[in-house]
Structure 1
Amino acid sequence: MPEFFAHRRPGRPGLAVFLHAGDPPLDTLPDLMAMLDENEVDCLELAVPFPGSATDGPVVRASADRALADGATLRSVLDTVASARPGLRRLRIALLADWSHTVRGTAPADFAAAVRDAGCDGLLLHGLPPRLRAAHYEAVRRAGLPLVTTCYAVSGPGTLAEAADLASAYLYLVAHYGRSGTTAALDRDRLGQVLTTLRATASAPVAVGFGIRTADDITRVAALGADAAVVGSAGVARIEQARVLGRDPVAELCSFVRGLRAPARALTGQPEERNDTHDRP
């Protein structure tokens, strides 16, 4: 199985961008995907919207609510992905689906096959009950669909080991505990230690998310040993800004993504200024 961030340039970390399918409306998604592909984004972490996420802050929750109000469903999301997928050259798509809102009631094998057949390159299952993990993970494996696993920098050794063992797309390491959009300071020593542990055992790349907003942030987590960075609510906020101001969301997100790929400034070890933009894994 090829490495998930195989198209990244040598010496440059992979980049994944999180968005809700349906925010902006689904008919914009093919253009968004094409733009991300052209701007060398490695992965679109595409969430099927679900309400009331306990792990998300207000920016991502509002985005999910807008997408749901516009009628985004699993079927419409997968159909849109399937129509856009043949035109993509490098962008990989990792679908994020909530078990309770999206997956429950569907046989694990049927769900995994539907995600695979739509052209998704990986799957992250959110809120999957522990008693059902074995069945769903086996169905994902049998479907030949790479799995995204998650853990926290504060997770115990057993959780870290399980995430490393099961990840076949990438392992999503959440930099700090809390809701997306929080601005907790990055514990670099702790994060570096965890990255060293995970990379010693994981066969899949390790991507760090939460608090990643700028090219400098991406450089910092890469220096600590991350293979890739996940940018969430900062990009979602730009989509919201475009909606409020009546701007083209594709052009707005394009400007943001190009800033993430701009050369990072020299890092001095001093904390940089922060704005109030929320962030998401």
Structure 2
Amino acid sequence: MTLYFTSLGYNNTNNCHLNKQKYLFRKNRDSSVLEKWKTGEYGCSSDISYEDFKASLLQLAIPRKEINYLAYCSQKLDFPNSPVPSLKIKNDCQLTDAFVFSVSGNGNLSPLYALESLCALLTAEKNEHSLLITSDHPVLIDGISSRNYYPFFLSNTFNYISTKSGMFQIEDINLHLNERTDAKSNNRRTLEKILESFLKEEVIGGGKWILPNENKNFIILQQFSNTCSAFVKDFLSSSTQYQFFRREKHAHTNLLSSDLFFSLNELISKKKIKKGDCVTLIFADYNRGVGSLRLSKL
């Protein structure tokens, strides 16, 4: 069955404590969150802007009762793998018939697990409409040394996956996992080795994604550091088939589970991608491996 993906936009909430928007989950915090975050002044790790999400739903022009599934994806929820965020969205946004679930605990690969689940559900149950929300508020996420990696920032993205129509056709979802090890033993070179192997075997290898000369093959990498981005760009420089795209807005921040969808939004808004072009989003996690989502523009 053919599946379609549409980006509905994003909400960059790095200064959410300064504005007056309504956020959905300010009261859903537990005792593990730092005391200063309990006041509600800064929200919580699963906050999304209610107004922005409602606006994204209006873009679809689909009755809310026809939304079959909603997946809420976060790098780290206040309550691990809690259904609370997705249930609250369901109730507050009146998605009465939606089956909802949350995906967390898989690092930067979490969106791919959520997408695989949505695609499987849509195909097996012959339904038509689903939503994927990614949201992170890096309060207690275990940080990586900022000397080597970009700092974590907040962002939410809203995406639509359907069997009917969309902005892109989903060509491939791929996971290339490595054995989980202590994060302290991982470094930039380890990640580069995993990326090189993945690019050779799954992206470039075999030439299965070769396009006509008039079409472009974009590659977008999860934002980790200048060195990792430079490594992938240099690796691809010998190929005339692939173009490395790096976003300009928040170019030196890691937006966690929203990062690649945020970059995809910039690629779309700048009208760099046209009908027939393809884009491969490469999700990379220093402790779990890499994966990709390949989309073709319709």
Which TM-score applies when normalising by structure 2?
0.31
Q: 1 or 2, which has the higher strand percentage?
A: 2
Name the larger-Rg structure: 2
Which TM-score applies when normalising by structure 1?
0.32
